[in-house]
Amino acid sequence: MTVLSRRRFLAASAASAASAGAPALGAQAGGEVDIAVIGAGAAGIAATRRIAATRARVALIEASARVGGRCITDTSTFDVPFDRGGHWIHMPDLNPVTPLAMKSGFDIYPAPPGQRVRIGRRNARESEMEDYLTAMVRTNRAIAEAGRGGRSDVSCVQALPKDLGDWQRTIEFVLGPFGCAKDLAEVSAMDFARSAERDTDTFCRQGFGALIAKLADGLPVQLGNPVSRIEWGRGGDVEIETAKGRVSARVVIVTVSTGVLMSDKIKFAPELPRRQLDAIEKLRLGSYDHIALELPGNPLQLQRDEMVFEKSDSARTAAILANVSGTNLCVVEVGGKFGRDLAASGERAMVSFALDWLGGLFGSDIKKAVKRTSATRWNDEPWTLGAFSAAAPGGQWARAALAEPVRDRLFFAGEATHETLWGTVGGAWASGERAADAALKRLGVVGSEPSPEPRRTPPPSRRR
C-alpha cells in the first residue's frame, strides 16, 4: 500500500457465530426457508452467519464447488499458501474480519510500510522517491477535489495534474490498474474520492482465502448448485430455480458479482427495475490478475512481502509482491486494459511477460532462477467474470442504488455495493452483514446490531 496518510473510521462489529446444530457444507438443496443467500463469497458468508445466529431459517446457495468467491487459497501449486484472489487485509484494527481471524487461530501479521521503485535496473534514489511521492500526493489531492467539487463527475484521468512529467505513467498504473483494476479513464473521480483509504494492512500467513473458507464452517451451504432463475414479482414467496431443485424464500439476498449479474446467468422474473440494471452497468468489474513465480534463494534480494513498482513510460507495466509471507513465492500483479488483454492471451503469455518484465528490472539471469509458475485469469472464471468493481465516470450513485432493497424482497450485497470499501473483502463482508440486518428487519426477526458505516470524511490521499 502507498503510505501517504491515515484516516480511521468506526469499527465494524464482528459477526455472531453460527447457531449450534446448523447444517454443514453441502447441505441438502431445495425446500422452504425464510432467507436465501445466493453466492458464498465473503458477503454471502457474512450475511449467512448473521442470519444463522437468529431463529430465521437460511440457505446459502453457491454455484461453484467451493466457498470463498474471489478469496481462494491454493496450497498445492507451490506447496505454500498462494492467494489467487484477495490477499490484503486492509485497515486491520477496524476490519470486521480481523477479530474473527484471531478467534479462529489464524496468524495475522503487519505488511511492511512503503514501497520500492525501480528505475531500470537500480532502485530509485531518495530524491527520486521524494519526487514520486510528492507527485502522488498532488495527484490524489487533484482527484479528490474533482470528485467532491460539486460539479458533474469526470474520469480520474481528466483530473490529473498537467505537470506530472515522467512520473505520470507510473502514477496512472499505481492508482488505476493496480488500485482500481481499471485504467483511470474508466474510473469515476467521485467514486475514487469517496473511497476509504487502505493505508494500513496485514496479511494472513495461512492465506486470506483459507480464512474466509474457515468462517463458513457450519453454515448451510449448498455447493455446486447454480441459480438460474429468481421469480420475485408475484405475491407469496420468492421462487428460486437451481440446478438441484427449487427453493422458496420469503426474501433473497443476492451476493454474486456484477460480472455474473451482467452475464444473464441468473434470470429475474420480472426483470430487475431499470435503476438496478443501470447501476450494475455502471459497476462493471475491472481486470486484476496474479502471475505467481517460485524464486528460491531470493535472487531479487528483496524483503519479505516487499512491494515493488517500476518507473514506467507505458501502460505495459506491473508490480511485484516479493517473498510472500517469507516464502519463495513472488507475485507479479497486472491489471486494467493491458492486464485484461494479457490474460486473454493465456497463462503462457502472462508468465512470459512477467519473466521479461522482471528481467528488465533485475537482470536476465532471473529467468533461470524461476521454478514453478501459475497465473490467475479472473475474467474467465465463470462464476465471477472479473476482479472487482470501480464505478464508471458518472456512476458513483450506482453503489447505493444497487444496495437498495427491491420491493423488500430482493437485497443485493457484495463489494460493489459498498460506497467506501468497494474492491475489498472487508467491504464485501460489511455489505453482507448490512443486507442480512435489512432482511431480518423486513421479516420482523431480531438480529445483531448493524455494523456502523465508516465516517464520510473524504481522503486527501490514496490507497496501495
Give 129-161 pLDDT, tens digit per residue: 999 999 999 999 999 999 986 668 999 999 999
Question: Which carries the bigger pLDDT value, residue 30 or residue 283?
Answer: 283
Q: Within 10 A of 245 (CB to CB), how many other CB atoms are there?
A: 13
Q: What is the rounded distance in angstroms from the CA atom of residue 61 to the CA atom of residue 26? A: 10
CATH architecture of 31-68+216-284+384-443: 3-Layer(bba) Sandwich (3.50)
Nearest 5°: CA angle at 373, between 370 and 376?
145
Check if the beta carbon of residue 62 is closer than 8 Å to that of residue 225: yes
Sequence-ordered list of residues with C-beta below 8 angstroms from that of 258, at least 6 positions apart, any chain? 280, 283, 284, 285, 386, 389, 402, 414, 416
Check if the beta carbon of residue 174 is closer than 8 Å to that of residue 2: yes
Q: What is the rounded distance in angstroms from the CA atom of residue 423 to the CA atom of residue 418? A: 9
Give me the pLDDT at residue 448, please: 52
Q: Peptide bond before 270: cis, by omega within 30 degrees of 0?
A: yes
DSSP assignment of 29-83: P-EEEEEEEE--BHHHHHHHHHHHTSS--EEEE-SSSSSBTT--EE-SSSSS-EE
Check if the beta carbon of residue 414 is closer than 8 Å to that of residue 402: no
Q: What is the pLDDT of residues 236-275, one digit of tens each?
A: 899 999 999 999 999 999 999 999 999 989 999 999 999 9
Q: Within 10 A of 460 (CB to CB), how many other CB atoms are there?
A: 15
Q: Among candidates 330, 328, 325, 327, which has minimal Cα distance to 361?
A: 330
Mean pLDDT of 418-445: 96
Check if the beta carbon of residue 463 is closer than 8 Å to that of residue 140: no
* Strand 306-310 to 319-322 pairing: antiparallel
CATH 3.90.660.10 at 73-206+286-380, yes or no: yes
Set of cell numbers at residue 234: 408475484
Give pTM, 2 decimals: 0.90
Q: What is the mean pLDDT of the chain?
A: 90
In the chain, domain spans: 31-68+216-284+384-443, 73-206+286-380
Give me the pLDDT at residue 228, please: 98
User: Which of 134-143, 330-339, 404-413, 454-463 comes out lowest in average pLDDT?
Assistant: 454-463
122 band by pLDDT with thresholds 50, 70 and 90 = very high
End-to-end Cα distance, the chain: 3
3-state secondary structure of 333: strand
**CA dist 274 to 38, 284, 406, Å?**
21, 16, 11
CA 374, 378, 383, 384 torsion-angle sign: positive
* Strand 227-231 to 267-269 pairing: parallel
Mean pLDDT of 430-449: 89
**pLDDT of 57 higher than 90:** yes
Identify the residue whose cell numbers are 503462457: 348
Give me the pLDDT at residue 264, please: 86
**CA dist 223 to 20, 52, 339, 432, Å?**
21, 18, 31, 19
C-alpha torsion 378→379→383→384, nearest 10: 70
Q: Among candidates 199, 198, 140, 194, which has minimal Cα distance to 455?
A: 194
Give me the pLDDT at residue 8, please: 28
Q: What is the pLDDT of residues 355-400, one digit of tens each?
A: 999 999 999 999 999 999 999 999 999 999 999 999 999 999 999 9
The rounded percent of the chain whose pLDDT value lies above 90 is 84
Set of cell numbers at residue 331: 507475485
Give me the pLDDT at residue 234, please: 80
Set of cell numbers at residue 375: 497465473
Check if the beta carbon of residue 213 is closer than 8 Å to that of residue 19: no
Looking at the DSSP bridge assignments, the partners of residue 116 are 308
Q: What is the pLDDT of residues 155-213, one digit of tens each?
A: 999 999 999 999 999 999 999 999 999 999 999 999 999 998 888 899 999 999 999 99
Q: What is the rounded distance in angstroms from the CA atom of residue 355 to the CA atom of residue 367? A: 6
**CA dist 4 to 116, 165, 208, Å?**
14, 20, 25
Nearest 5°: CA angle at 209, between 382 and 323?
110
Give me the pLDDT at residue 19, please: 35
